[in-house]
Amino acid sequence: MTMMQPITAKPGSVATSVSLDQITESAEFSFRSGGTDGVHAADLASTIRNTGGALDPVLLWQTQADEIGAEGVLILLDGAHRLAAYRSVQWSQPIPAIILIGMGRREALGAALKANSKRTRGLSQVERMDAAWRLVREPEKPRYKVREIAAWADVAGSTVDNMRARFKVMHEEGIEITGSWAWDRRTRVPGAEDEVWQLSEAQRNAEIDKLAGDLRDLLDRRKNPDRLILREEQAIWEAICVALGENTIKHMFGYLLGSEEAVDDWAALRKASEEALTLRAEDDDPEPQF
């Protein structure tokens, strides 16, 4: 288990650790439509498994007297995906949290919105895999350890082991390394793919962009107004799954999420999210007619 880094709390807040069952989630303080994103939650669950440590602190608000129910309730303001990830891996220890104290509901709503409005962009799963693949090949002495690369790139240690084994094979057989783990991870037999083999990295990326554009055009209901089925999002997903096949879909998500365990996490979280949305829809009162 990795050691938790010290947390610096702002005035009016307390840095501490709380158990998952102490946290209350309320739709009143959620500004995100559609519930939690199963892919993102599964990605965070993968991070927990890879590092063995807790994620960044969640943001909570401690209610005061006369504020939505009992005094002292800990309301989640930011960190729904982190909670979903903890539950996915059956985390049993307290998690880091920053608790806002001494403020009312008005300020708590503002804090929730501000915390969820940050614009950040970390490395994608593909970029993290390529970064790990690069460090595996780096000629630094001493060589990077598996656990170092796994922790820094946030990938599974078994993935780094596979990269090391693949690098050895490519070195021994004189196979050209492109730097893209998606491309280098398996040996491609020359023949029907000869022309693809001759593409440079820039050409390959351009072809990927073109193919992506073709797929977008195919599924764009504005460009295909006669295809009524394109108006139903879930029907499109089902069609893609049928076209690619279950095994291809699983391999694709396994690559994007980093491991087959992450795929299972994503499926479970997706199901839980859909069930939560269904329950919420059933509980909602009818909209007033004005």
Q: How many CB atoms lie under 10 A from the CB of residue 214?
A: 10
The structure tokens listed for 121 are: 């962009």
Q: What's the pLDDT at 2?
A: 39
How do residues 200-234 score in pLDDT, each as one tens digit? 667 777 888 888 889 888 988 888 888 888 888 88
CA trace torsion 284, 285, 289, 290 (10° rounding): -90
pLDDT at 100: 94
Q: Please list the ranges in the chain whose pLDDT falls under 50.
A: 1-9, 192, 194, 281, 284, 287-290
What number of other Cβ atoms are within 10 A of residue 288's Cβ?
5
> Can you tell me the distance from the alpha carbon of 42 to that of 50, in angstroms, rounded to the nearest whole number?
12
Residue type, 83: L
pLDDT score recorded for residue 164 = 95
- The structure's pTM equals 0.59
**Distance (Å, rounded) from C-alpha 286 to C-alpha 281?**
10
pLDDT value at residue 72: 83
The per-residue pLDDT for 196 is: 52
- Structural domains in the chain, CATH included, are 13-115 (3.90.1530.10), 232-266 (no CATH)
C-alpha dist (Å) from residue 225 to 5, 229, 231: 54, 10, 9
**CA nearest 72: which of 56, 60, 59?**
60
Identify the pLDDT of residue 289. Answer: 45
pLDDT of residue 71: 67
